[in-house]
């Protein structure tokens, strides 16, 4: 099934959703609680096969394959469960935008995404009553190579919910178009590239499809003009447009940005543990160490220090002077967590008050050791988050040789590499691989939001069947509660 595109040449409204796929939210490092939107001019629409021009003097024309909803009947103040019934058809769309002009229209995207031809759509459409809106597939190709693939079971906000949300204050009319967001994989198209987008329902009878929406990219020969905001790009815009620092050819941003650090400080270690387990990482918790002060929170990238078991000849050569322990303390950077491998040996200290004070004055985010801490009351009073396996009065020379820094270590039966992200609370400490930290945080925030709803229902006397975890009608109820 690939019916001819029936939308009017100039629909009343073209509305686009900012973020609506979990994969894209993870890529962006944030998961919205509610959908947000922007308008695209009807003059931005183009048919399949129509070339799109990259404006002269720009470099970052980005493609975003999307599923477009075509409204079939008027919708005003409808409920989420009614929203899909107001959709006549779905089709493929490409929400093109030039990142060079985002600075001029942050949020509204009027010039960045509103140029003529920046919303190719079609070529055909799939009747809404022929498919399950939760079982559609979206695919994008660039020069024949796959770039995006996702299904609508990973949407943050269902199609019915989008229609209901938009209709609360604005009347949606037949022919209006809603662009429903793009998954991960959106990137930059260059002049000479051919971008194709297709929407289908492979499991529906007849496997209906929109057909491939074809958009050749060409370079504009018309100067942009100097009477308005001019193109401007930086490495951040390049990374966002290309989808990653590697693809953009620029140095990557640190995994632990200020925003991510702040976010990690608000979610429970238990929640982060669940999210890592969903990604196949079970052994991410550091066993043993507990905070010297209850209520302590810790977030930061790891610096590592390794102790060997005591051997007197080695201690004579490596234990005195400016040894590995002191070098680690004296070089820890602001915001870092010094993590010590002490083999779980609890009968000697691995740090005391003077060196803990030195780490604090250097701005360390904390200290973690699976061994002991000396002067524990004084260390706790410094104000530095410290997690330790035990308190013991003996100096490290009783059991340890300070050996090396900035190498992979085993702390509390868990591997910790320099740069790994540590998060601690009263439950303990979790180790997050840097490349996963943004998506783990985004999904952890959503998990805790769901659990807030679940707890509210349990307090009201509801049973946990279908509620924990959310499924069926309870999932719909949660989405309505989110509004």
The model's pLDDT over 201-214, given as tens digits with 9 standing for 90+, comes to 999 999 999 999 99
Q: Residue 69: its pLDDT value, please?
A: 97
Q: What region does 457 belong to: left with phi over 0, alpha with psi -120 to 50, or beta? A: alpha
CA nearest to 305, candidates 256, 370, 258: 370
Domains in the chain (CATH in brackets) are 3-248 (3.90.850.10), 284-432 (3.50.30.40)
Q: Residue 236: its pLDDT value, please?
A: 83
Is the bond preceding 123 in cis, omega lying within 30 degrees of 0?
yes
Is 354 assigned a ligand-binding role in the annotation? yes
Q: Residue 31: its pLDDT value, please?
A: 81
How many C-alpha atoms does 401 have within 13 Å on its Cβ side?
A: 13
Is 374 assigned a ligand-binding role in the annotation? yes
Cα separation, 389 vs 394, whole angstroms: 14
Handedness of CA 229, 233, 234, 235 (dihedral sign): positive
Rg (CA), the chain: 27
Query: What tokens were used for 18?
Result: 């900012």
Residue 270 has phi, psi (to 5 degrees) of -60, -40
| Cβ proximity of 125 and 44 under 8 Å | no
Q: Residue 33: its pLDDT value, please?
A: 83
Q: Residue 385: its pLDDT value, please?
A: 97
Is 382 assigned a ligand-binding role in the annotation? no
Cα separation, 346 vs 204, whole angstroms: 62
How many CB atoms within 10 Å of residue 227?
5
Q: Residue 2: its pLDDT value, please?
A: 61
| Cβ proximity of 401 and 310 under 8 Å | yes
Is 161 assigned a ligand-binding role in the annotation? no
Is 236 assigned a ligand-binding role in the annotation? no
Residue 137's SS3 state is strand
Cα separation, 441 vs 264, whole angstroms: 7
Tell if the pTM clears 0.75, that is, is over it. Answer: no
pLDDT along the chain (483 residues), means of 10: 71 94 83 90 95 95 97 95 96 96 84 94 95 95 96 93 95 96 95 97 94 96 87 87 85 83 96 94 95 96 96 92 93 95 96 96 97 96 96 95 94 95 97 92 92 94 90 84 77
Residue range 329-377, pLDDT digits in tens? 999 999 999 999 999 999 999 999 999 999 999 999 999 999 999 999 9
- What DSSP assignment string belongs to 144-198? TEEEEEEEGGGBSS-HHHHHHHHHTTS-B-TT-EEE----TT-EE--TT-EEEEE
b/e sequence 44-78, b meaning 16+ C-beta within 10 Å: bbbebeeebbbbeebbbbbbbbbbbbbbbeebeeb
Q: Residue 3: its pLDDT value, please?
A: 66
| Cβ proximity of 350 and 369 under 8 Å | yes
Is 47 assigned a ligand-binding role in the annotation? no
């Amino acid at each position: 099934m690939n019916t001819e595109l029936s939308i009017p040449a100039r629909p009343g409204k073209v509305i686009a959703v900012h973020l609506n796929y979990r994969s894209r939210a993870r890529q962006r490092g944030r998961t919205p609680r509610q959908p947000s939107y922007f308008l695209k001019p009807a003059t931005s629409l183009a048919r399949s096969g129509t070339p799109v021009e990259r404006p002269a003097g720009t470099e970052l024309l980005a493609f975003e394959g999307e599923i477009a909803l075509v409204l079939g009947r008027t919708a005003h103040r409808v409920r989420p469960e009614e929203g899909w019934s107001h959709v006549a058809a779905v089709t493929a769309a490409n929400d093109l935008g030039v990142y060079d002009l985002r600075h001029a229209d942050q949020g509204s995207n009027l010039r960045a995404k509103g140029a003529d031809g920046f919303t190719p759509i079609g070529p055909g459409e799939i009747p809404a009553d022929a498919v399950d809106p939760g079982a559609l597939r979206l695919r994008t190709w660039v020069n024949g190579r796959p770039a995006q693939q996702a299904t609508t079971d990973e949407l943050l906000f269902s199609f019915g919910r989008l229609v209901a949300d938009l209709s609360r204050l604005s009347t949606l009319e037949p022919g209006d178009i809603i662009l429903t967001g793009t998954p991960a994989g959106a990137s930059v198209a260059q002049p000479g590239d051919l971008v194709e987008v297709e929407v289908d329902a492979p499991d529906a009878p007849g496997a209906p499809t929109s057909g491939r929406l074809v958009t050749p990219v060409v370079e504009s020969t018309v100067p942009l003009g100097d009477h308005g905001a001019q193109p401007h790009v930086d490495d951040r815009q390049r990374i966002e447009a290309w989808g990653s620092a590697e693809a953009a050819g620029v140095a990557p941003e640190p995994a632990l940005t200020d925003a991510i650090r702040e976010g990690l400080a608000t979610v429970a270690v238990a929640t982060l543990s669940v999210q890592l387990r969903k990604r196949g990482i079970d052994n991410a918790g550091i066993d043993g160490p507990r905070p010297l002060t209850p209520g302590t929170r810790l977030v930061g990238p790891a610096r590592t220090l390794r102790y060997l078991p005591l051997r007197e000849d080695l201690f004579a050569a490596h234990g005195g002077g400016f040894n590995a322990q002191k070098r680690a303390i004296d070089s820890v950077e602001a915001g870092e967590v010094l993590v010590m491998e002490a083999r779980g040996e609890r009968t000697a200290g691995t740090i005391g008050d003077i060196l803990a004070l030195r780490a604090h004055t250097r701005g360390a985010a904390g200290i973690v050791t699976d061994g002991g801490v000396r002067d524990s009351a004084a260390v706790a009073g410094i104000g530095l988050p410290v997690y330790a396996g035990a308190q013991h009065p003996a100096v490290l020379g009783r059991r340890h040789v300070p050996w090396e820094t900035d190498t992979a270590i085993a702390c509390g039966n868990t591997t910790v590499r320099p740069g790994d992200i540590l998060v601690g609370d009263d439950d303990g400490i979790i180790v997050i691989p840097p490349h996963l930290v943004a998506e783990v945080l985004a999904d952890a925030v959503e998990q805790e939001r769901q659990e807030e709803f679940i707890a509210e229902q349990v307090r009201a006397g509801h049973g946990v069947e279908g509620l924990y975890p959310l499924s069926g009608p309870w999932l719909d109820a949660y989405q309505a509660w989110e509004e």
